Structures are given as structure tokens and as C-alpha cells.
Structure 1
Amino acid sequence: MQAKRTLANVLRRDRSLGASDPDDRFATASSSDVELESADTAVVPTTDRLAEQEERASAQVQQLNDRLLRARTQLDAAMAADERAEAVLAELSAALRQLGKETEAAEKERALTELENQCVREDEDTIGAEIGAVKQRVRESVKELEATRASEAMATAKLRAAVEAATLARAAVISQQMSGNMTISRFEYEYLIGRPC
């Protein structure tokens, strides 16, 4: 930049001096040539240096663009991963809620089953007691029935003995009173010949 300014100043001065004497113009032109040559030699390294700086700046811009592109790619990947993580988190939350509901339902079912089992055990105890009482009543009834049968058998035996004694007594009385035919009831006849009615 400094070299460009120097060159511009020399050119301005030459223009302003261009209207004077030809010798001065020549001297001025010579001095301008010398100054231009020195400015030119000063401008070339400056231009080269500017070109190098421009190349370096361009390379830095390219590097920054590459870094920006990589950063943008990483950001996109991170955002996609974040979205996937949010989706997975939402699925896990839903699964956790469902598991909580199922656990609660299973707990209620277990409590209900325990209550039913307790009722069954109580019913079993009650039914067992009732069965025991019924068995006891049946035993007592069987004993009473056996006692009644024994009593009936004794009564039947006594009745038979009484009927037999009465029949024999009557037969004896009748045979003494009559020596002929005697009339007896069918029951007495069947009894005497040994066939029950």
C-alpha cells in the first residue's frame, strides 16, 4: 500500500511539473523514472507479499469453510442423535407407564387372589365343620336306627311269641271243648303251617 501511495505522489508531481521548462521536464522525468523504478521495485515485493497474503487468507478461508462444514455436519449428526434420543426416551417413558399400569393391575389381581384364597380356606373350614356335624348326625341316626331295629326285632319276637302262645292256648281250649272240627283264622292257619302271610 505504501508503494502505491509513493507512486501516486510521484505521478502527481510530474504532472504538475510537466508545464515548465523542457530541461526541467527531462530532469523531472529522469528523477521520476528513478523514483518509479524504486517505487516499482518496492511495489513488486509488496504485490508478491499481497498475493501471498491473499493466498494465505484464501487458504485460511477454505480451512474455515471446511471446519464450518465439519462443524455443521457434526451439529446435524448431534441434532439427529438428540432427536433419536428423545424418541427413545419417549418410547421408554411410554413403556415405563405401561409397565407401571401392568404392575398395578397385577398387584390388584394378586390381592384379589389372596382374598379369594382366604375366602376359600374359610369356606373349607366351615364346610369341613358342617361335614363333621353331618357325619356325627348320620352316626347318631345309624345308632338310633340300629336301636330301633333291635327294639322292633324284640317287639316282633314278643308279638310272635304272644301270638303263638295265644294260638296254642286257643287251640288247646277248642280241642278240649270239641273233639271235632275247629275254625281258625287264615293268619293262625298260615302261622301253624309255617308260611307267613
Structure 2
Amino acid sequence: MNKKTIRKILGGFKSYVPGGVSIHGTGGTDSARYCYTIWLRHLSILYQNGFSKMFNTIAELGPGDSIGTGLAGLLSGSEKFYALDVIEHTDIKKNISIFDELVSLFANHSTLPDDNEFPRAVPRLDSYNFPSEIFVNNDLEKFLDKSRIKSLRNELIDIEKQKKLFSICVHGMILKLLKTTLWIWCFHKQFWSMLRI
């Protein structure tokens, strides 16, 4: 086993050590440009390997500092997004800011941030041009329609309202107009401690 693998395994174990171990944000996903490049890099690799249809539903285990990568998926045409995390790292103001920047990045068909900007981001690509070939038949314009964007943004704001109602939070974001659903499951720290015992 190499050093990198051992470090990752040990890093995962630290969340099971009782008391005194604080868990901080993951770093990276608090940047819209990072979320944009991660989502589109993976989408590009899938497209190169024969996946030509957008996924109806996507899920992210441990989204970290934001749900930006999942938001990029929704902006690409997915209808449902599930973010599953045991620790609530996300901040609604940050998510809304990331969402707004993602909308601009997609609308401008911005070049993907490359390995110079995010040297640890994988997978690596031969070209970091916007992958227009993935979005045929003007699909992207439909996904970025002003009413759809407004609805997605309003549902993000509603998550904050729902969060205030629950100490063990199970947030639901149901986009009624779009038949789109976003769920974020998270457990309060004390509840998770009881589950781990």
C-alpha cells in the first residue's frame, strides 16, 4: 500500500475517534470554479466512454463545504440531486453564491479551470474547452432558462428556512414546477455520535 492510500485511510478513521477530533470543511468545493471543473471533467469522461444521456438523478456522498458539484449537475439537466453527509459543512449563503457563479460559468460556456488552477483535481483532460458536444439540441439554454434558474435558487433559499425547524435535519428541496428534487440528509453531531457507538 502506498503512502497516499494509507493517509486517506487514516484520515477516514479519525472521524471514528471519540472526543477532541474536530472535523472541518473539505476545502475545494467552496469554489464555484472548482465545482464546475469537477462536474464537467467527470461528465466529459463519461461522454467519451459512451454515456450520451444526462442522468435524471445524481447523488453525492460527502459533498463537503457546499453542494456546488450537485448544483452543477442540476444546471446540466439532471432533475434530482441527493447530497448525503453526516456532518453539515454547507452554508446556504455560500451555496447561493456558488449557484449564481455556476449559472454564469455555464451561460458563458466558460473554459474549465485546468490543472494550473486546481492541480489536485481529477480526472485530467486533454482539453479544458467547454464540452459543447455534450449539450446538443440547445439543451443547455433550456436548462438555464430564467424561470428554471429562479425556481432552483428559490428552493436553495427554502432549505435555510427548513433547516431552522429541525435539530436533526433532513432537508427536502422539491422543485414543483420542474418535477425536480434535491435532498440533503445530515445528522446533528450529537445524534451521529450516538449512532457511531
Q: Same fold (TM over 0.5)?
A: no
Name whichever structure is richer in strand by fraction: 2
TM-score (norm 1): 0.16
Say which one has the larger Rg. 1
Structure number with the bigger relative contact order (C-alpha 8 A, sep ≥ 6) is 2
TM-score (norm 2): 0.16
Name whichever structure is richer in helix by fraction: 1
